[in-house]
Amino acid sequence: MLALDKELLAAVADLHEIPQGAMNIRKNGQLLTRNTTANIDIVTKKDKPGIDIIIKEGTKNESVHIPVLLTETGMQDMVYNDFFIGDNAEVLIVAGCGIHNGGDGESRHDGIHTFHIGKNAKVRYVEKHYGQGDGKGQRIFNPETIIEMADGSYAEMEMVQIKGINSTLRTTKGTVGAGARLILEERLLTHGEQYAETRMDVEVVGEDGSVQVISRTVAKDRSKQVFYPRVIGKNKCRAHLQCDSIIMDNAQVRSIPEIDAQHPDAQLIHEAAIGKIAGEQIIKLMTLGLTEEEAEATILQGFLK
Amino acid sequence: MLELKNITYAAQDEKGKNDILNGINLTLERGRFYVITGPNGGGKSTLAKIIMGILQPTSGEIWLEGKNITDASITERAKMGIGYSFQQAPRFKGIKVGELLNLAADKDRKKRAYCETALRQVGLCTQDYINRDVDASLSGGELKRIEIATLLNRKLKLAVFDEPEAGIDLWSFAKLTETFSALHKDSDGTIVIISHQERILELADEIIMIREGVVAAQDAKEKILPGLLCSPEGCELGKGEKKYACIR
Ligand SMILES: Nc1ncnc2c1ncn2[C@@H]1O[C@H](COP(=O)(O)OP(=O)(O)OP(=O)(O)O)[C@@H](O)[C@H]1O
Ligand SMILES: [Mg+2]
């Protein structure tokens, strides 16, 4: 594997070696390597680009890594990945896309990830987006995530995008069954002229389903962020939306949360706050010997961790 | 060690200029324990912030060990060995207690054992706190104690604690006074505590009274303390235009 590939893999999937267990690495639209296990199968789709990841009922302590690398300028990649997670399975899924665009063409990775989560299954999903390269070429991501949660299932979805992506529209749609719990965590840092938009649409249909949305973002320079999380409670359920943003320089952050209760026992809460770093925090860290820049970096790092 | 020469400070607010410090002259010797006291609004915290470099004096000079540091930044003063524990500590989303204490600690004390000691010295159990965020979930007294702990793993020439007793329960307060005594005994740094508490005043070598932006009195504890601990009418230092509320 090339040094650049390794660097991108480390950034998007914390992978420093070829991972153990099931994996599928896709580079510039082609399959680079694949590994399957007794419980986890990966099959290339026949009708469109993408893969099916099939996790057997009752699988425990296994992981799947499916990073995507784009290193050619002007590369436009579109994939459909479907995850079939069997009843009672417990699995960690690490996805992510690293783009190195050293040229002037537009690099673009759009993907639709669909999760079919079985009864009482537990999933932790981590997705990181990372862009680098000095060319003028734009680096664009438009990921879409669809989550269907059967009764009693649990999913924790962590989506991270730190720098390097010029434009992103991230869409997440979810349906939560009885007693199921969905946690959506987003961490985002934009700078320069970047634009990032997040749309979340989650319906809680089953009794005692619950949703928690935690969004922490930082907008620097002249970047813009728009956030539209929406939760609909169609049954006795709970939801908590929490959006926290730090705004710096000449950036703009818009946060438009919506909670829609369609059942008398739906308990829905949203909290949204936007503000700059408190001057006191910077001063406190400076009194410990940090420079102003170090203090700011420490505060942002903690906030986005 | 530290010399304040004719320090004045005026704040600008909606009503115009507001003189807060009106010519403070003060010399702090190496290795001594000072307690600064005085009525609310007298200018104690303002003075502490001027020493730390958080506020710039309107006029006057600050000298540390024969060097004029009036123009030195907060960071520079921290590196020279000045520390300040805030009266009102800020909270940090996403920074853990252990991480903050580690950031604060000197290079050779960035180990868990030192963090544990500092937490113990302020009466907190390491296991319960080290992995908690320094955010709104901490109670006022817990936050205050962590703030104090940020000075305990530093070899400081001058440590200033601004009302460390505020919001601290009786049991932790006893622990805290022990910690300050031990700090005084084990280090040759200068300690300044801003306080209204008799039990802290009793720890002092010298007491400094700041009232209406000037040093109203400075002397050995034995000389000042009896005058402070009296009824308002009989209080020597309480006389003047504005009544000084007595400590007891
Ligand atoms: N930025 C400011 N603008 C206007 N007035 C200020 C400003 N900062 C402080 N003051 C005033 O200066 C005075 C001194 O404040 P300071 O915080 O130093 O008092 P203190 O002696 O520490 O009091 P306390 O015992 O209540 O902590 C107060 O009257 C306060 O209201
Ligand atoms: Mg004060």
Q: Which residues of B touch A298 (CB under 8 A)?
A: 95, 103
Compute, in angstroms, the gap from residue B44 CA to the centroid of ligand 1: 8
- What percent of the residues of chain B are helix, what percent strand, and what percent coil, each to the nearest 5? 35, 25, 40
- Cα A22 to chain center, whole Å? 20
Q: Does A52 touch chain B (CB under 8 A)?
A: no
pTM: 0.82
pLDDT of res. A98: 78
CB contact under 8 A, A298 and B83: no
Of ligand 1's listed atoms, the one at least distance from the Cα of B48 is: 18
pLDDT of res. B17: 81
pLDDT of res. A65: 92
Write the DSSP symbol of residue A197. Answer: E
Contact yes or no for A191/A201 (Cβ under 8 A): no
pLDDT of res. A129: 80
Q: Does A278 touch chain B (CB under 8 A)?
A: yes
pLDDT of res. B183: 92
CB-nearest partner of A284 from B73, B79, B86: B86
Residues 6+ apart with CB under 8 A from A300: A189, A218, A246, A277
ipTM of this predicted structure: 0.91
Q: What residue ranges do the domains of chain B occupy?
A: 1-81+156-248, 95-154
DSSP string, B172-234: HHHHHHHHHHHHHHH--SEEEEE---HHHHTT-SEEEEEETTEEEEEEEHHHHHHHHSS-GGG
Residue A218: pLDDT band by 50, 70, 90 thresholds? very high
- Tokens representing A40? 């986890």
pLDDT of res. B225: 84
pLDDT of res. A12: 66
Parallel, antiparallel, or unpaired: how do β-strands B2-13 and A258-261 relate? unpaired
Among the bound ligands, name the one nearest to the CA of residue B216. Answer: 1
Write the DSSP symbol of residue A46. Answer: S
Residues A95-104: what's their mean pLDDT?
78
Q: Does B174 touch chain A (CB under 8 A)?
A: no
φ and ψ of B38, to 5 deg: 140, 165
Q: Is the pLDDT of residue A235 over 80?
A: yes
Tens digits of per-residue pLDDT, B38-90?
999 999 999 999 999 999 999 999 999 999 999 999 999 999 999 999 999 99
Among chain B residues, the shortest Cα distance to A297 is held by B95
Compute, in angstroms, the gap from residue B42 CA to the centroid of ligand 1: 7
Mean residue pLDDT across chain B: 88
Q: Closest by alpha carbon to A91, among A53, A130, A128? A: A53
CATH topology of domain B1-81+156-248: Rossmann fold (3.40.50)
State how far the Cα of B102 lies from the Cα of B100, in Å rounded to an integer.
5
Contact yes or no for B21/B210 (Cβ under 8 A): no
Write the DSSP symbol of residue A296. Answer: H
pLDDT of res. A260: 97
Residues A226-240: what's their mean pLDDT?
96
CA distances from A132 to A138, A168, A260 (A): 10, 15, 39
Residue B223: pLDDT band by 50, 70, 90 thresholds? confident
pLDDT of res. B222: 87
pLDDT of res. A134: 66
Find out whether the beta carbon of B195 lies less than 6 Å from any atom of ligand 1: no
Q: Is the pLDDT of residue B26 over 50?
A: yes
pLDDT of res. B67: 95
**Angle separating helix axes A292-304 and A279-287, nearest 10 degrees:** 120
Q: Which residues of B touch A301 (CB under 8 A)?
A: 94
Which letter, b or e, does each residue of A20-44 get, where b requires 16 or more Cβ atoms within 10 Å of its Cβ?
A: ebbbbbbbeeeeeeebbbebbebee
Residues B220-238: what's their mean pLDDT?
67
Q: Is the pLDDT of residue A240 over 80?
A: yes
Q: Is the pLDDT of residue B247 over 60?
A: no
Residues B21-41: what's their mean pLDDT?
94
Write the DSSP symbol of residue A6. Answer: H
| Least confident among B185-199, B204-218, B224-238 | B224-238
pLDDT of res. B248: 35
CB contact under 8 A, A283 and B54: yes
Residues 6+ apart with CB under 8 A from B37: B44, B194, B195, B196, B201, B207, B208, B209, B210, B228, B247
